[in-house]
Structure 1
Amino acid sequence: MLGPHVLFGLVLAFLVQADITKDHDPRLKTAVILDTPTTGASTTPEGRTFLKLARIDGTTGSQIVEVIGNNYTLVPYPNDAWNSWNGSTDSQADSEVKYVSANAQRIGPDGRLWVIDSGSLAKFPNSSKLISFNVTTNEVDRVYYLGNITTTEGSIDDVRFNGKHAYLTEYTVGSIIVLDLETGYARRVLREHKSTVALMPLSAEGQFMRDSATGLLKYIHADQLEVSPDGKHFYYQPGIGYMWRIETKYLNEALHNDTTADLLPNYVEPFSLTPSTGGTAIDAEGNVYYSDGDRQEIRYIAPNGTTNLLVCDSRLLWVDAMWIDTQQRLWMCASQLNHGDLFMQPNNESNTIKRPIYVYTIEIGHSPSPLDHA
């Protein structure tokens, strides 16, 4: 028979173990483990995995990589040359054929890998670009230079597709860019509209974020974006949340019609009262998934606007751009972005990122939108 002290010890051990695991959802599975924060994963139907590495921890090196093997070897994609940018020595010509400041990557509905490079427009006017790679040959398919659209005050953030059109968010001023993928013609719309401008500073773990360089509160304008599976609606929001939508027919028409472009604010409507958000994804049923940076939650919004909780887990710290693969799994990169050197840290530390960095998956029972990616 166990004595009272032994029983107390067992109960205490149980309580401690329960406290350790109570906020760790067993549905989360580890997909990738690495030393450098990543703000976005994407996969091909054949199982290749690509990452955008966010150099927010003082490290340098490749920005776009492919994950090879079970030991998570990171290989520069498509090669070392594209990942060899040096802002001190490289020229304008170099900025057109290298990642200057890659901000996102994703497999598109055409099966190509698309990379968004926000560039460094103050010094390199043609460095802002959207690049597509043929993942079979690992060669450049096409480059869309967007420096004349974003100008020195704007920075492109991410991209989504809808037939021959692509939509990009621009986060430093707040606007949407509509691009004709066939002709390469692009136009910036909804500049500084209430739907593209952040009303409040970015927040994470319950605190407003401050720029490490200036000490000022950090505002991230037009950021997350998705297109409904039927191609009818474009969803978008600033980093702090408040999701809006507009019918894509108006965006497409505004590309070549000044009058429609001027009238776009009349067609914008509120969609969901989302919180400060790291990233989003959309499935084939039109559910929009978003990460809550303050609560370490992933929620999803049904097409009718109702919101449900998918998972809450303390490990999901600043999940950035998410991804749904063909195995009906949601990929979540726990980037710890708010702990990086972009933002002020406690005690004037340069960053408080804890390694290793994890990319998690969770089964959601839904396939990716075929309009979103292959």
Structure 2
Amino acid sequence: MSPDFRGPEFRPEVGGRGDGFMRSWSQEHRTLGFEGRGNGPGMVEGPRPGIGPGNLTKRKFGDEEREGRDGFERQRQQLLQYGKADGNLGGMPGASRGYMGKGEEMRAAKYMRTDEVNVGKLKHNGIDQVALKKAFLHFVKIIYDDPNQKKKYLADGKQGSLKCIACKRSKDFSDMHGLIMHVYSSDHANLIVDHLGLHKAFCILMGWNYRTPPDNSKVYQFLSAEEAAANLSDLIIWPPLVIIHNTNTGKGREGRTEGLGNRAMDNYLRDLGFQGGKSKTLYSRDGHLGITLIKFGADQSGLKEAVRLAEYFEKEKRGRNGWAHIESLNLGKDDDDSNPNLVKVDEMTREKKRIFYGYLATITDMDKLDPDTRKKSVIQSRRDWMPPK
């Protein structure tokens, strides 16, 4: 889904939500909603054992509802941890499309009908869209730029009270729902755009639906793992970056980690046929970090080349998924040279060569960047520069 705030009247090719889009989206994505009609979530109309036709009764959440909520919570946590943009979040069980059962699918259809109705009522639609997007991109970077602050928001109040970073008011909020209700409903004349931009940033952080106006029913908190991942993967670091892992080569004489330098990586990419990228190797006090950033031009051609390089690694099964799998094995550093996933031995020369893994950098990768790159980078929408075909 596009992070654009615009409503159905806008062009579908740049993120508008026309009828055709909603039909295709509802067929391919699953989300969890509430059953029934009436005065609010949980109201069910129709005959039930011991209840006359047409009567309304309040449904209590039973095992099925709790199971659905638990499933969504697991998917959301996997998404927020791994930042995956496809159907399988880092190979984690239960995170793929088709996780939900038939009961959840029935609720999904009813929930999406609610979303269709509510999107036209979204408060963002009456605001200057250019200013709104600028505020959103500004605040989403602030949130991800501070790991401790991001972690506190994700804890949803379990690590202490939360504050609004748009108005910096002294009032504390006990959880993210209260904070999101504040930023969405705030009428401060000079800060409406900032608050609504922050509303979207918070919803994307939490994996919630920013297109549904928040209220105490908390329906807006239900969103498919696929769409939540798509919201994150659309937010790319700018100028475009490809992050390459496993560029270290072992320990030096003094015990410091060594690895490929900038010139060696530039030559490697040139030999593969990739142009325009400039390498930047990352170091710490202990030496080479095994990470090299490939920075491309801040324009459409630069982004296309960065995407082409990321797709090369993905086709070789050495993209984001591949590296997440390697990391999940918790391999010790001493085993690196004998690990066939990290080192390839030339059959003729017996020379050992590192196997590289790479992917396009998104908002979820901010903590992998060095301070200077992080400071000079901004966040952009990939679809603004490369609309879907």
TM-score, normalised relative to structure 1? 0.23
| Structure of greater Rg | 2
TM-score, normalised relative to structure 2? 0.23
Query: Counting strand residues as a fraction of each chain, which structure ranks higher?
Result: 1
